[in-house]
């Protein structure tokens, strides 16, 4: 069932430009530096190499929610333009429909030992890291978001790390959160413009979602200025 849902979402995603054919169908990545944002308190380096992050490997149960197929396309930006960043480790993590992160102790919940909605992928020759997850829920004080981290080797061989967050159009979130299992959580209090972290570059980090038969998909270009 999970595989079929993921396939249905992915089938609706297209990187094709109208009228293009063959190799020209792929859009070129946006050669724009991506704003960096705070890691937040809930990053756990689980080292879970997986594309579908919905299932908790500790119990085999999938977190409920609207499927979301996400492609992060990572590029290194220089004076010569954009170059796909191959072999970078890309982590994503976010809360579930009830606003809970896995493997953390929080005043409102404890999910220690759980590993849902976390994972990493290694970018391919085109700089792509592909994930299947669910549309995030909300929790107090924040707009709806996904965290991501990119770890790679710079030109000198030293380690390089970049962390930021992705956001959603508030109108789409309203529609999604009116459905189960989100509706039981109640209406969120903070939207994008009311989020202090979003106001620091978040308008450049909003996903352009494509609606499919069973969920949503998005491709987001991440442009990095790598040290030499």
Q: Is 10 helix (H, G, I), strand (E, B) or coil?
A: helix
Mean pLDDT computed over 155-171: 91
Cβ partners under 8 Å of residue 174, min gap 6: none
Q: What is the mean pLDDT of the chain?
A: 88
pLDDT at position 155, please? 67
Q: How far apart are CA 28 and CA 125, in angstroms?
A: 14
CA distances from 54 to 10, 95, 163 (A): 15, 11, 21
For residue 9, the model assigns a pLDDT of 43
- The predicted pLDDT at position 28 comes to 62
| Mean pLDDT confidence for 87-114 | 96
* Residue with the larger pLDDT of the pair 152 and 12: 152
| pLDDT, tens only, 36-48 | 999 999 999 999 9
Q: Is the pLDDT of residue 177 over 50?
A: yes
170's enclosing H/E stretch is helix 170-177
133: which strand partners? 68
Query: What's the sign of the alpha-carbon dihedral 85, 133, 194, 178?
Result: positive
Are 90 and 72 a contacting pair, CB within 8 Å? yes
In this prediction, residue 12 carries a pLDDT of 38
Global confidence as pTM: 0.88
pLDDT, residue 135, reads 98
Distance CA 223, CA 33 (A): 5
CA dihedral sign of residues 181, 183, 184, 190: positive
């Amino acid at each position: 069932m999970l595989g079929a849902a993921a396939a249905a979402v992915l089938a609706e995603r297209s990187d094709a430009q109208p009228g293009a054919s063959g190799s020209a169908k792929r859009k070129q990545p946006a050669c724009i530096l991506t704003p960096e944002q705070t890691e937040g308190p809930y990053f756990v380096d689980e080292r879970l190499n997986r594309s579908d992050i919905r299932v908790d490997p500790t119990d085999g149960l999938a977190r409920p929610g609207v499927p979301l197929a996400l492609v992060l396309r990572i590029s290194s930006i220089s004076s010569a333009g954009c170059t796909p960043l191959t072999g970078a480790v890309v982590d994503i993590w976010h809360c579930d429909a009830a606003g809970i992160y896995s493997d953390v102790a929080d005043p409102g919940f404890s999910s220690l030992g759980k590993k849902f909605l976390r994972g990493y992928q290694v970018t391919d020759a085109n700089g792509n890291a592909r994930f299947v997850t669910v549309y995030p829920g909300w929790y107090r004080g924040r707009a709806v978001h996904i965290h991501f981290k990119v770890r790679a080797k710079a030109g000198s061989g030293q380690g390089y790390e970049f962390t930021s967050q992705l956001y959603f159009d508030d109108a789409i979130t309203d529609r999604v959160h009116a459905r189960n299992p989100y509706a039981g959580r109640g209406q969120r209090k903070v939207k994008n413009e009311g989020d202090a972290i979003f106001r620091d570059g978040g308008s450049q980090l909003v996903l352009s979602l494509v609606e499919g038969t069973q969920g949503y998909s998005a491709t987001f270009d991440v442009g990095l200025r790598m040290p030499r």
